[in-house]
Amino acid sequence: MPEKQKKLDLAVRGALWFGPLKADGKGKAAKKSDQLAKGQLPKGQLVDVLVAKGKIVALTPAGSLDLRATHEVEAGGQVLLPSLTDVHVHLREPGQEYKEDIASGLDAAAHGGFANIMCMANTRPVNDTASVTEFMLEQARKSWPQGPRLYPIGALTKGLKGEELAPMAELKAAGCHAFSNDGRPVASTELFRRAVEYAQDLERIVIDHCEDPYLAPAAGMNEGVVSSRLGLPAQPDVAEAIQVARDVLLAEYLNAPMHLAHISCEKSVALIRFAKARGVDVTAETCPHYLTLTEDEAEGFSARAKVSPPLRAQADVEALLAALADGTIDMLATDHAPHAAHEKEVEFDEAPCGISGLDTALAATWELVRTGKLPFDAFVRAWTTAPCKRFALPVNTFKPGDPADFVLFDQDAVWTVSAETMHSKSKNTPLLGRSLRGRVAAHFLAGKYVVGKKTVGA
């Protein structure tokens, strides 16, 4: 830290840090533990985080600098993590506020550890005009002025109908950060091509919902042993893989960037790996539920497990974990899709697809790290640096000058997923009634509390 820097706004003392650390603020980063490569937590060390004017000043070994701050926080050995970014969320406002509104969605995001939220365009009306985009941004500013920050995703086609391009330049000017037809894949490859080219001209990325719209669309159930036993309409994994193949070939032909949403199966992973080996500018996300749950969740015809694309087989889970670890899958996203209780408490065929994920994502994926199924560095990359780099969002890597967006995470807290412990309006998750380990104790954005001031003393 510069010698002249004396005035600190915030100092968080004694947090547990698992990443590399410059011991004196000048030298090379400490070597990561060999455990990291094995997908296990490194030993970790206690650190102090020093903040001024909303920015990181220094990350130092605990007690190594005798400097006081206006606000002093004792972390008590809780895990220090950078705030997360979610590039795929449905917030339902305008039009379906009974499921979720922007205020409640950002509440769930803040308590879930998220600083940046990118929300999809399938609102009512669809976010295909500047007025809708501006309304969403204003609602976010009014409800959570300190953050989490909201980044709207504009519709790729008018009304998401897949017939005519949306006014993408107008949407960009209003504040849209990317474009997508998520939920209703564009069937016309010609129209999709034009949309990708237009977005590229605007320096924006297209996010594609990879699903063949003619092959068991929105079935919400994987075609396999479980669907056969239950007698449910189902979608084969090739319905996703066909669209992935189209997209990566098109991205290569156009020399254009492409982002693939909620990848769920091994076949898609193989195609993405193939594309990256050829130098195609493609990135991909998967979701916590595809890494932690399988098609078996639908036993008993539970509509809480109905999601698009559907939960797949155990072999797909293992392929996705390996792909996330080696970087074939770049990032994680929740695909937070809230629905009211009465909409899910119907027969499986009639229920809408979607899982509410903002409240549970951090704990669910931290468990993968804790149990050695996912390397810590892949976890951090997938929730922070990869999505922020791809979509040009602010990110905290704990370097001086980075935004002071970070979480104190109680990795030992055990809690039950319930209507009372979730902050989203909607509780539609297969995890309802189950215990998770790990919870956000405090969340700071620009060095100010958004969650936890009563939990962690200042």
Dihedral sign computed on CA atoms, order 232, 236, 237, 241: negative
Shared-domain flag, residues 122 and 35: no
Dihedral sign computed on CA atoms, order 133, 137, 138, 143: positive
Q: How far is CA 220 from CA 239, 261, 274, in A?
A: 12, 16, 27
Residue 91 lies in a domain: yes
Yes or no: say if 272 and 328 are a contact pair by the CB < 8 Å rule: yes
Shared-domain flag, residues 127 and 270: yes
Boundary-marking domain end, from 369, 391, 413: 391
Residue 107 lies in a domain: yes
What three-state secondary structure class fits 207? strand
pTM for the full predicted model: 0.93
Boundary-marking domain end, from 372, 391, 410: 391
Give the CATH number for residue 251: 3.20.20.140
Shared-domain flag, residues 364 and 430: no
Phi/psi class of residue 156: alpha, beta or left (left: φ > 0; alpha: ψ in -120 to 50)? alpha
Boundary-marking domain end, from 350, 367, 391: 391
Residue 458 lies in a domain: no
CA–CA separation, 125 vs 119, rounded Å? 14
Q: What are the E-state strand segments in 255-304?
A: 258-260, 282-286
Residue 457 lies in a domain: no
Task: Give helix 266-277 / helix 314-326 axis angle, nearest 10°.
Answer: 30
Shared-domain flag, residues 421 and 406: yes
Structural domain of 443: 8-81+401-451
Check residue 1 and give its pLDDT.
Answer: 45
What three-state secondary structure class fits 325? helix
Check residue 219 and give its pLDDT.
Answer: 86
Shared-domain flag, residues 383 and 431: no
Residue from 68, 62, 59, 65 nearest 25 by CA:
59
Q: How many domains does the chain have?
A: 2
Check residue 20 and give its pLDDT.
Answer: 63
Q: How far is CA 287 from CA 101, 290, 362, 406, in A?
A: 22, 5, 11, 21
Shared-domain flag, residues 265 and 341: yes
Helix (H), strand (E) counts: the chain: 13, 16
H/E stretch holding 81: strand 79-82
Q: What burial letters (b/e) apply to 424-450, b meaning 16+ CB within 10 Å? A: bbbbbbbbbeeebebbbbbbbbbbbbb
Residue 1 lies in a domain: no
Shared-domain flag, residues 355 and 422: no
H/E stretch holding 176: none
CA–CA separation, 404 vs 399, rounded Å? 10
Q: pLDDT tens track of the chain, all 458 residues?
A: 444 455 899 999 999 998 764 333 223 333 443 333 333 344 689 999 999 999 999 999 999 888 899 999 999 999 999 999 999 999 999 999 999 999 999 999 999 999 999 999 999 999 999 999 999 999 999 999 999 999 999 999 999 999 999 999 999 999 999 999 988 999 999 999 999 999 999 999 999 999 998 997 778 999 999 999 999 999 999 999 999 999 999 999 999 999 999 999 999 999 999 999 999 999 999 999 999 999 999 999 999 999 999 999 999 999 999 999 999 999 999 999 999 999 999 999 999 999 999 999 999 999 999 999 999 999 999 999 999 999 999 999 999 999 999 999 999 999 999 999 999 999 999 999 999 999 999 999 999 999 987 544 44
The DSSP symbol for 303 reads G
Give the CATH number for residue 62: 2.30.40.10
* DSSP labels, 94-115: TT-TTT--HHHHHHHHHHHTEE
Q: How far is CA 188 from CA 214, 235, 255, in A?
A: 12, 20, 19
Residue 124 lies in a domain: yes
Shared-domain flag, residues 377 and 446: no
Residue 67 lies in a domain: yes
Residue 2 lies in a domain: no
Which residues are catalytically annotated? 335
CA–CA separation, 402 vs 421, rounded Å? 31
Residue tagged 């060390």 (tokens): 45
Cis ω on the peptide bond leading into residue 310 (within 30° of 0)? no
Shared-domain flag, residues 209 and 326: yes
Shared-domain flag, residues 415 and 315: no
**Cβ contacts of residue 277 below 8 Å, gap of 6+?**
none
Shared-domain flag, residues 93 and 144: yes
Shared-domain flag, residues 77 and 107: no
